[in-house]
Amino acid sequence: MGERIDTRLLTELSVQSQDLNSDAVRLTKDALGDFTEQEQERAAKRRWGPAGMVAGLAGVGVVLGAGRAMAASSTTDIQALQTAASIENLAVSVYQTAAGLSFIKTGNATVAAFIKMTTAQHQAHAQAFNAAVTQAGGKAQTAADPKYAAVVQQMLPSIKAPADVVKLAITLEDVAAQTYTKNVSQVDDPNLRKLFGSVAPVEAQHRAVLLAVQALLAGGGAALIAIPTQPAMLPAAAGSVGFPDSFYSTSSASPVNEGAVQ
């Protein structure tokens, strides 16, 4: 494993990125704030019902129909948020487990630092999704996505080296990115579109880095997994292996209710 990393520089970069990140966090909090206001307005409408619209003309059937439609869209939003939180919970758990593996602790310092930072980012995503869930009147999701938790359990015994961890992480990051990309056009609330849309690219970036790391590990270029790296030493293919698609696929996106609170 390459140990060319300057850990002081990495710490400094992490601090800088935290500063930059605080702006993005603020923005997401704004989106959550807007979402809360809208949810309060919706809740008021739900409490009072669309009585103004029906004005005693159409009767109970219309009121119930409208109420069901509103409740259905709200359920989709809540389930999507809970499923997203469940994927984040799983990612946090996997990265935390990975961080404790001996070959990670004593291996490439950049890989270990990436795992630490990525864990924190997934924790922030889980918090944001759960905050939105509770603001929407749903229950926070503290469990892991059941489908992929089973996949992880199945794969854990075969994890023997950094490349195995990277392969598993790529799978989880891709599922997260695909799911949120799809969620953007599934949820009703524009503020939730903003939330899902602000997280999907970050998961895609994790995947891009992991794909590049995977290629370097496979090619015996672990020494180049460093910040800063040596661009001149990177193989040509390393420049493009991190972003294989022109358009982010959603064919493996998790269904909205996959990780919903039962």
Chain positions 190 to 249 lying near other proteins, rule: CB under 8 A, are: 190-191, 193-194, 197-209, 211-212, 215, 218-221, 223, 227-249
| CB closer to other proteins, 150 vs 218 | 218
Q: Residues binding other proteins: what is the number (CB under 8 A)? A: 74
| CB closer to other proteins, 69 vs 218 | 218
Question: What totals of helices (H) and strands (E) does the chain contain, helices first?
Answer: 8, 0
Taking CB under 8 A as the binding criterion, the range among 16-24, 78-86, 131-139, 149-157 that sits at the site for other proteins is 16-24
10 belongs to the binding site for other proteins (CB under 8 A) = yes
The nearest distance, CB 83 to other proteins, in angstroms, is 17
User: Can you tell me the distance from the alpha carbon of 39 to that of 35, in angstroms, rounded to the nearest whole number?
Assistant: 6
Half-sphere exposure of 68 (CA within 13 A, CB side): 6
33 belongs to the binding site for other proteins (CB under 8 A) = no
Query: Which residue among 70, 99, 117, 151 contacts other proteins (CB under 8 A)?
Result: 117
The nearest distance, CB 5 to other proteins, in angstroms, is 11
Query: Which residue among 74, 89, 118, 130 contacts other proteins (CB under 8 A)?
Result: 118
Nearest CA among 77, 102, 116, 117 for reference residue 161 = 102
Here the tokens at position 18 are 């935290």
Per-residue CA distances from 172 to 56, 145, 176, 228 (Å): 52, 11, 6, 26
Taking CB under 8 A as the binding criterion, the range among 24-32, 37-45, 145-153, 157-165 that sits at the site for other proteins is 24-32
The nearest distance, CB 40 to other proteins, in angstroms, is 19
Query: Which residue among 128, 152, 168, 175 contacts other proteins (CB under 8 A)?
Result: 128
b/e per residue, 136-174, with b = 16+ CB within 10 A?
A: bebebbeebbebbbebbeeeeeebeebebbbbbbbbbbb
Nearest CA among 119, 240, 227 for reference residue 172 = 119
The nearest distance, CB 204 to other proteins, in angstroms, is 3
User: Can you tell me the distance from the alpha carbon of 175 to that of 152, in angstroms, rounded to the nearest whole number?
Assistant: 13
Taking CB under 8 A as the binding criterion, the range among 65-73, 81-89, 157-165, 183-191 that sits at the site for other proteins is 183-191
Here the tokens at position 39 are 């949810």
Taking CB under 8 A as the binding criterion, the range among 41-49, 76-84, 120-128, 156-164 that sits at the site for other proteins is 120-128
